[in-house]
Amino acid sequence: MCPRNLPAGRCPGSSRLGRARVWSPLLGEPLSGSIYLRAPSGQLPGLLVDLRGGGLHFVLGGRVLTGGKGLRARISGLPDLPVSKAVFTLAGGRRGLLVNSEALCARPRRATVGLTAHSGAVRSLRPRVRVRGC
């Protein structure tokens, strides 16, 4: 895990959990970067998303939470920027944070995504989850 006091650019490669890409109609290219597993401040580890693109650099913090039917991740720190698409690719199984308790290829899967804008507007989405190999 990446130590809590270490900047995103200095996190060890072994703490890399995946990649993120975020598109905005205001930017000519997507923001992209690594997702790192960060040492916990509580019971569960945190996330760190290091996004760069178009001369911009944003470091987003994330918390992993339990509740309901599984794990949730809450990522904050994105500036007041419209987002048209976001893709998070996470390692699973032995090399990742997530291990499946049921067959993911048996039927199409959907994630639950809740978005809250700086204005307070809320939107819920149910995007399809793509599983490599299915």
pLDDT by position in tens, the chain (length 134): 888 887 888 888 888 989 999 999 999 999 999 999 888 877 788 889 999 998 899 998 888 777 776 667 788 877 888 888 888 888 776 666 666 677 778 888 888 888 888 788 898 888 888 877 77
Residue 118 lies in a domain: no
Bridge partners of 16?
36
Task: With respect to residue 64, please indicate whether it lies within any of the assigned structural domains.
Answer: yes
Query: Is 30 a domain residue?
Result: yes
| DSSP characters over 37-53 | EE--SSSS-EEEEEEEE
Q: Which long-range contacts (CB under 8 A, 24 or more apart) does 100-105 make?
A: 104/129, 104/131, 104/134, 105/131, 105/133, 105/134
Domain membership flag for residue 94: yes
Whole-model pTM: value is 0.79
Q: How many domains does the chain have?
A: 1
Confirm whether 3 is domain-assigned. Answer: no
Q: Is residue 24 part of a domain?
A: yes
Domain that holds residue 93: 8-100
Among 4, 12, 5, 25, residue whose Cα is nearest residue 83: 25
Query: Does a structural domain hold residue 85?
Result: yes
- Residue 60, phi then psi, degrees to nearest 5: -105, 140
Quick check: is 113 in a domain?
no
Question: What's the CA gap between 46 and 41, in Å, rounded?
Answer: 8
